Amino acid sequence: MTASITTVNPATGEPLETYPTMSDSKIDEVLDTAAAAQEKWAQLDFAARGQILRSAAAELRNRQDSLALLVTREMGKPLVESRAEVEKCAVGLEYYADNAAAFLADETYATSADDSWVSYEPVGIVLAIMPWNFPLWQVFRFAAPALMAGNAALLKHSPNTTGSAIESEKILLAAGLPEGLFTALLVAEPDVPATTERLIADPRIGAVTITGSERAGSAVGSIAGREIKKSVLELGGSDPFVVLADADLPKVAALAARGRFLNNGQSCISPKRFIVDASVAEEFTRLLLENVGRLQVGDPEADGTDVGPMARKDLMDGIDRQVQAAVQQGATLLHGGHPLDDTAGFFYAPTVLADVHKGMSVYEEETFGPVATVITVDGPDEAVAVANDTRFGLGASVWGTDLDAAVAVGKRIESGACFINSVVASDARMPFGGSKRSGYGRELASAGIREFVNVRTWWAMKEPGSQAPVSE
């Protein structure tokens, strides 16, 4: 029997579509086709590549309604957020179409050679292993720079967003991308580890990028290291949201609720630990609860819904285990803390926990769902200590009316990004990535496209001479 992948609507628990998976021989054919297509693609100039990416942006906008509905039905985010994700993908494609030539232009260097420069050249095929929480943005934010750099791209998406993976491929093909240059690989779940290892080991794969869990990132990074391949890891996060004593509490609490429960709480960079100065903790918590209490939980396809279901039942069960463990360990449950049993889907009540401290599950682990934790601290020094008391280092935000003081606190926090008086977000114009166990390498901006190239040094002499550099 041919293996298959079946997607499920998390709002109803009902199956959506079933897709046949690829055999090893089919994946080998995909590799052959991608390698041949990449050789030709690399010969095109940036203008030609950019024209196709701009066409893909137009395709995204033309299909925005149907794509947004697919995203919502596959992973559960409110429809308004899915529409925004489609537009963000279009903007990202246009950004790289506009800027790749400048990012990868040859750079001259002053040396003793007659001419010396650095060129940025494609690595071949980029393998991407992407998660379900932003099923289009995760795809296009790697594909845009990888393709503009002259590479081919293979996508191994999360099984529950298989439809989004296939539609991503269709959009690029409709925009004029050569056949085989971007392919969504449909791999049966039991075969993923072996297939991933085989792909990374293939000499035609020049780099691998993954967004996912620590466990998956560690496995992929280990294989890439063994095979001496470039890799980018964007992994988990337990982002601190530091509220200083002079913060504008009504505004900050509203943004805290929005940031935490966006995407149904399922974002690596959403604020997860609200680290609040003791002098304002009671008022901040009161305002946070007011805002959380106003959130509308329900059908993600309905107007006015703020929070939809979690993407899968096992994820809902996992977040509930974390919450119940924290309560047993002494945390105070202020709001929510349970699945919504009156629904057929995987809905979990927006949850707020206070009196959270070291040793609790929600303090030590990433909470990837609609759960906010409030940690009270005595001043900026303790806030920094708590913010850094995690194995993660993806994003951080600091909130206070004294901008210089807030920046000074932020500089002491270990993270890949620090936002002052703003919720952490990814933006194509800025590098994105983490530190510590949140991964390495960068996506987006000029740093992101340079992850997928060979930085090649050139030293040119008009005549054989003695000006050659000193050897190692």
Answer positive or negative: Cα dihedral of 286, 287, 288, 293.
positive
Q: How many other C-beta atoms can be found within 10 angstroms of the C-beta atom of residue 193?
A: 14
- Structure-block tokens of residue 12: 């109803």
Asked if 99 and 129 touch (Cβ cutoff 8 Å), the reply is no
Query: Dmax of the chain from CA atoms?
Result: 82
- Mark whether 418 is an active-site residue: no
Calpha distance 287→293 (Å, rounded): 10
Task: Determine the Cα angle at 76 with ends 22 and 390, to 5°.
Answer: 90
Bridge-based pairing state of the strands 371-377 and 205-211: unpaired
Q: Which of 85, 268, 365, 451 is catalytic?
A: 268
Question: Which residues make beta-bridge pairs with 19?
Answer: 5
Element holding 108 (H helix, E strand): strand 107-108
Calpha distance 460→472 (Å, rounded): 18
Calpha distance 175→392 (Å, rounded): 39
- Mark whether 85 is an active-site residue: no
By the 10 Å C-beta count (0-12 exposed, 13-18 middle, 19+ buried), 330 is classed as: exposed
> CA separation (Å) from 36 to 28, 31, 43, 152, 401?
13, 9, 12, 9, 56
Calpha distance 33→84 (Å, rounded): 33
Q: Give percent helix, percent strand, percent coil of the chain, each to the nearest 5.
A: 45, 20, 35
> CA separation (Å) from 458 to 15, 109, 219?
55, 9, 35
Q: Which of 74, 234, 366, 451 is catalytic?
A: 234
Calpha distance 450→433 (Å, rounded): 14
Q: List b or e across 438-471, with b for residues whose CB sees 16 or more CB atoms inside 10 angstroms.
A: bbbbbbbbebbbbbbbeeeeeeeeeeeeeeeeee
Number of residues assigned to the chain: 472
Asked if 42 and 206 touch (Cβ cutoff 8 Å), the reply is no
CA atoms within 13 A on the CB side of 311: 21
Q: Is 263 left (phi over 0), alpha (psi -120 to 50) or beta?
A: left
Calpha distance 456→274 (Å, rounded): 45
Which residues are identified as catalytic? 234, 268
